[in-house]
Structure 1
Amino acid sequence: MKFYGDSQSGNCYKLQLVASLLNIPYEWIELDIKNGDTRTESFLKLNPNGKIPILELEDGRVLSESNAILNFLAEGSELVPKDPFERAKVLQWQFFEQYSHEPYIAVARFIQHYLSIPKERRLEYESKQVGGHKALQVMEQQLGKTSFLVGDHISIADISLFAYTHVAHEGGFELSKYPNILNWIQRIKELNRFQPMKSV
């Protein structure tokens, strides 16, 4: 199978991390969004939405959206709970990640880490701080009750949220305010076959 993505993207890193944890072999195809790699005719045939990451199977089938790919890759593994309610809780956290977490923390990281907070995006950056801290507070509260987001065993919910949370400081979020999150980050980093995000 092939993964198409940008190694500095949290959404793309999710795939690398789950594949490493589950020892899934794959070919990585690095794309440069700024260079227009996702707007080429060949890429748009794979994903008309023009976004990464995508998964291409050996038979040519293609799957997009990072959390959908995580669910596919982890199906039947210990990263997906067998209990229907707990599986629904995993999905709950993944929807939370896409709607209440990523739009704030990932965007703030992009504005600060990649653009150095240009003047014309200062107000946007500051507004993202509010939503990002709200999301981190929700996670902090849950991780004060359980070791991982859905109980005491890691799931793809944790992988979904780990991707951008562990680099949230690159978006101006001071994680020392969230000791439960810091402990959770460390637990994930200590897992067998953990793969760190590639540095710039």
Structure 2
Amino acid sequence: MPNLMKLYYFDTEGYGEVSRLIFKFANVPFEDVRIPKTDWPAMKNEPRFLTQQIPILELANGKILGESKAIQYYLGKLYGFMGKDVFEDAKIQQYVFGLDDNGGAGKAIMLETDLAKKAELAKAFYVNVVVNILQNYTKFLNENGNNGHLVGDKLTVADLALYQALKTFMLFNIPIENEFPILSQFLVNMKEKVAKLSHA
């Protein structure tokens, strides 16, 4: 049996999930190495962890690739989840990077332990950051013909990144279903596609 690529990340979705989904949609076996957070301090100085951060992707030939979006781009190009030309590739990257334009506010909410402060941060996050993102990505879907994809007429890394972002926003009780129907339908459609993977 040939060596498989190994994706190293924590046992959560986070920055590793888009890459996991690319493997699954491509029907390509891989080693999903899920590191317990309690084990990470003792592991992070191993040579394979180039910057003491994860995710990393270890190729079958032993080469290492770090940074979540670099891994997504590599796997997307390898397995057909990027665009049909250089411009579409750039559009996909534009949409992927655009979802991170939140100044780290989402992470700050996750880390906050005081419930009152967490609620206050979540409200500010929605008003100051999320609404703008949701309005923009509604527009982007419409500009592409509202065909269920951000770029072209097939599933791309951009769609997977938007799917993960919307799932994360839902954790903060963002009213996507009531206020952003196009994104709500996109999320429903993507959930159905992902559910089919687990039953394939």
TM-score (norm 1): 0.79
Q: Contact 1:19–1:25 at 8 Å: present in 2 too? A: yes
Residues 151-178 of structure 1 show CA distances to partners (whole Å, capped at 9, x for unaligned) of 3322111112211312421123111111
Give the corresponding residue for 1:84. 86
- 1:46-100 superposed Cα distances (whole Å, 9 cap, x missing partner): 22433221111232211122221111112144311122211110111122123x1
Which residue of 57, 60, 64 corresponds with 2:59?
57
Gaps spanning 5+ residues in structure 1: where?
none
Shift of 1:38: 3.1
Aligned to 2:136: 138
Seen in structure 2, the aligned counterparts of structure 1 residues 132 and 140 have a Cα distance that, compared at 3 Å, is same
Q: Gaps spanning 5+ residues in structure 2: where?
A: none
Q: Deviations over 1:8-45 (max 9, x none)?
A: 23321111111000011111111233x2x333245542
Distance, in Å, in 1 between the alignment partners of 2:158 and 2:63 is 25
Aligned residue in 2 for 1:17: 21
Distance 1:107 1:78 in 2: 34
The 5 A counterparts of 1:87-102 are 87-98=89-100, 100=101
Name the CA distance, whole Å, in 2 between partners of 1:106 and 1:162: 18
Deviation at 1:181, TM superposition (A): 0.8
Distance 1:150 1:107 in 2: 31
Query: Does residue 1:31 correspond to 2:35, yes or no?
Result: yes
Is residue 53–residue 65 contact of structure 1 (8 Å, CA) maintained in 2? yes
* Identity percentage of aligned residues: 23
The number of residues matched between the two structures is 189
**Quick check: which has more Rg, 1 or 2?**
2
- Taking structure 2 as the reference length, the TM-score comes to 0.79
Q: 2:47 aligns to what SS in structure 1?
A: helix
1:104-160 Cα distance to aligned partner (Å, 9 max, x none) = 44654x25xxx6653455544343222122211211122233321113322111112
Query: Which AA in structure 2 matches 1:127?
Result: A
Matched, 1:118 2:120: no
> Quick one: distance in 1 between partners of 2:131 and 2:73?
27
- Higher RCO (C-alpha 8 Å, min separation 6): 1
Amino acid at match of 2:104: P
